[in-house]
Structure 1
């Protein structure tokens, strides 16, 4: 096959441009000559990959301060796509303005609600006289701030670069240990990365000890669980599914035995794939 006939990977991610999700997508795929396209919602990312209009999608799974992204887990439960890889991004917030703007000029601070909450101490100490308003995303906020005088946005260094903003304060987040995990969704696991995790979703019979029984096969085989949480099942009030990740490859003997035993103890189980972390 000639190089001219090799099509670049098509990557979609939750936009807009210069979002933290784009940073994650670039971290994973920037060395592959991929074509990147922002989309307006997590649901649209899933739909585009499901329809084969993209090879992979990148969406957030959880934040170390705010917790899991429920919509991502819900869509995984109802999609035929698999988790193909993961990475994490340290969330570094910066104060970004139209070039030439000083602290004394700032009358309005805008950003995504999570970013505003994560920079509360900085806002209250350095910008206590400014109004604070939420925006749909940090990228939208940066674009707006750069286009208007007296407005400051909290966003990423990438957003400042893309939209031509000036960073007048860096690392303004209250907690430095602020990370977001992003997953790659698709059909084929990425070959790059380190380590190996497997993810599953399952439901249980409503009886005492059901969750204990479900976890026992993994404990007996020394498999380390790295994440487990419950999510409400849409349309079934007070019924829940469980999303679980653990170390190991789905075809390893210990892992496959644990999954087979789990199948006998659950009412439904879905294997979401085994995948590596791109450091």
Structure 2
């Protein structure tokens, strides 16, 4: 070992020693704060403010993405010392939903894999778990209808959102694609990778495509059949011991799935927030324009507008809308109050920090 290398390593050791002291001091302070929180351990607005501030201060060379990952884990470990959280997600282990949980809550959190999105809602509603994470839309394939239907029915609140870049991989027990007779995957994943499949598997018409409830379930089935493959995320390949035959086969390289955190708490303003609402109006000329006009009048930005059957009457629809800002903001409050007087139905799902 050269003297210069030894000096550099000694400096790193010294920094690690100081980091160890500082992280434990932070944990002690988090414990003290926890005693004053009245049982509420997870504060989405505060965690969002911390991560935003650190990104603004970050001089590099670590990217902001790495800084968020690092401090999410530190926050997660400190939070667990106050009171362990349990978060439900659409299982089994190895799904993108599980990745979304880790991205938002860190790895120091208990998780519960559920068989369906309905089950995630039920676990949170029954206080079996602290929070749930559910997919709500994909940048390529659009809305997740079941989540939207359940949001219309539930008494739960949206406490946060997670945007997860989704990379699909083709995996199997071995890499010889000529032996593949069937491919398992979730219907949305098939749709996201259709172009790649048509180009790289010319005999695709002879291969059975079998829909599954989740990509992790697809990987599980492929692991039991030497002539099968699955489309899923890297974590599913690790969990079920499959070999990745082709990486990043999604047709859109910016493919992203948005998840919502559902719970029972009202979240204070973080300074960079969204508010999600559901509303409907009478079916007459100009009614939708009148319903949305307060947003323009009070300068409230709208990032999402999607219609969904109300399931009450034929051809009756409700509108799912995401707006910029928090219910505590004066312009948002005024716009929603005016809409309340015009809409035949209005449900505020919650205000929460926008995804980092």
Distance 1:36 1:193, change over 3 A: farther
Shift, 1:62, TM fit: 0.6
Which region of structure 1 is more displaced relative to structure 2, 86-95 or 120-129? 120-129
CA distance in 1, matches of 2:99, 2:268: 20
**Contact 2:171 / 2:242 at 8 angstroms: preserved in 1?**
yes
Aligned to 2:250: 173
CA distance in 1, matches of 2:239, 2:185: 16
**Contact 2:158 / 2:350 at 8 angstroms: preserved in 1?**
yes
Report SS of the residue matched to 1:54: coil
Q: Does 1:49 align with 2:124?
A: yes
1:220-276 CA-partner distances (Å, limit 9, x unpaired): 111110011221111311111111110001011111111111111112211111111
Provide TM-score, normalisation by structure 1.
Answer: 0.92
Aligned to 2:190: 116
2:233 to 141, 156, 160: 156
Report SS of the residue matched to 2:237: helix
Alignment of 1:1-279 (within 5 A): 6-30=82-106, 33-98=108-173, 100-129=174-203, 131-136=207-212, 137-188=214-265, 195-279=272-356
**Contact 1:116 / 1:134 at 8 angstroms: preserved in 2?**
no
Report SS of the residue matched to 2:106: helix
**Contact 1:193 / 1:278 at 8 angstroms: preserved in 2?**
no
Provide TM-score, normalisation by structure 2.
Answer: 0.73
Distance 1:29 1:214, change over 3 A: same
Distance 1:209 1:191, change over 3 A: closer
Point out the structure with the larger strand share: 1
Q: For structure 1, which runs of at least 5 residues remain unmatched after alignment?
A: none
Point out the structure with the larger helix share: 2
Higher alpha-carbon Rg: 2
CA RMSD after TM alignment: 2.2
Report SS of the residue matched to 1:222: coil
Distance 1:15 1:190, change over 3 A: farther
